[in-house]
Structure 1
Amino acid sequence: MTTAYETDFYQWTQQQAALIRQGLFSELDTAHLIDEIEDMGGSKERELESRLGVLLAHLLKWEFQPARRGNSWRLTIKEQRRRIDRLLKKNPSLKPLFPGTVIDAYGDARLMAAREMDCDDSQFPLECEFTVEQITGDYWPE
């Protein structure tokens, strides 16, 4: 049996919200609601990973291309640090995941930096050498 969840997600969300407002909990599509709630939480983790990827790529560019350091890179680093800080303040349960997320994001950061610098990713260390404090603090690689 096809449901609105498969055919019209927006309609499904509105139906589920209406059922909750009316207190008709037995009529809820609980299996899909559980999936969607878990996915909502996962989106915050994916946001952290994405922001870390951008930040780490710019830290790599800053370190490995000192002659090209500019305001754009500096501001991107500052912006991502601010956004990561806000994300962690609003979602403190992400803090314990931070070190593992850095590991995952660093692989992407190497590729992003290599693409933007038009070089091979082997130019960069295989593992992230920035500490959590350096990533989130006011550290600027030399």
Structure 2
Amino acid sequence: MTNLKQLHDRDFNLWIEKTKEAIQNRDFANMDWDNLLDEIDDMGKSEKRSLDSYMQRLIEHILKLRYWDEEVERCRKSWQQEVVNFRNRINRILKKNPSLKNYLKSEYSDIYQDAISTMRFDFEIPEDDIVEVEQIMKDGYFG
């Protein structure tokens, strides 16, 4: 059998195939446990990064609809489409990973502040602006 540990760095796709094969054959003695655990950990982090990114983009578009007076009439429909799109992506992640709901609630305030700091380059946002996660995730809410 190919040394899985060496294969991980040379050909990641082949490493996945050989690791799957080793698991199916219950060949635990030859498993590359360290890299397997790292990859599993990375999978979880990837879902969280996606969730963070979609949520920040959702918040940014809600903020645009609420405060970017100069552009809102021209861009309203496309921004609303983006709001629906990002909300759908978030809901898909949460449907497949219900345990991430708690993660999202715990990170939401920081994500919201990141979105505000980004959007303040384009328009004024009141200091006390906040939209709670439950509100921002409601279908039909656009700000």
After TM superposition, list the pairs within 5 Å mapping 1:59-78 onto structure 2: 59-69=62-72, 70-78=76-84
Cα gap change, 1:39/1:125 in structure 2, threshold over 3 Å: closer, same or farther?
Answer: farther
After TM superposition, list the pairs within 5 Å mapping 1:77-88 onto structure 2: 77-88=83-94
Post-superposition shift, 1:68? 2.1
What CA RMSD, in Å, does the superposition of the two structures yield over aligned residues? 2.3
1:53–1:106 Cα contact (<8 Å) kept: yes
Question: Residue in 2 aligned with 1:94?
Answer: 100
* 3-state SS, counterpart of residue 92 of structure 1: coil
In 1, distance between residues paired with 2:23 and 2:58?
40
* 3-state SS, counterpart of residue 129 of structure 1: coil
The number of residue pairs the alignment matches comes to: 136
Cα gap change, 1:80/1:21 in structure 2, threshold over 3 Å: closer, same or farther?
Answer: same
Give the alignment's TM-score, normalised by structure 2: 0.82
Q: Percent identity?
A: 33
Cα gap change, 1:105/1:128 in structure 2, threshold over 3 Å: closer, same or farther?
Answer: farther
Post-superposition shift, 1:5? 1.4
Question: Residue in 2 aligned with 1:140?
Answer: 142
What are the Cα deviations for residues 58-77 of structure 1, in whole angstroms up to 9, with x where unaligned?
A: 11111111342211001101
1:103–1:127 Cα contact (<8 Å) kept: no
Cα gap change, 1:42/1:53 in structure 2, threshold over 3 Å: closer, same or farther?
Answer: same
2:59–2:136 Cα contact (<8 Å) kept: yes
Post-superposition shift, 1:94? 0.4
> Structure 2: which amino acid aligns with 1:106?
Y
After TM superposition, list the pairs within 5 Å mapping 1:1-142 onto structure 2: 3-69=6-72, 70-114=76-120, 117=122, 119=123, 123-125=124-126, 129-137=130-138, 138-141=140-143
Post-superposition shift, 1:57? 0.6
Please, which runs of 5 or more residues in structure 2 have no aligned partner? none
Cα gap change, 1:108/1:60 in structure 2, threshold over 3 Å: closer, same or farther?
Answer: same
Give the alignment's TM-score, normalised by structure 1: 0.82
> Structure 2: which amino acid aligns with 1:130?
V
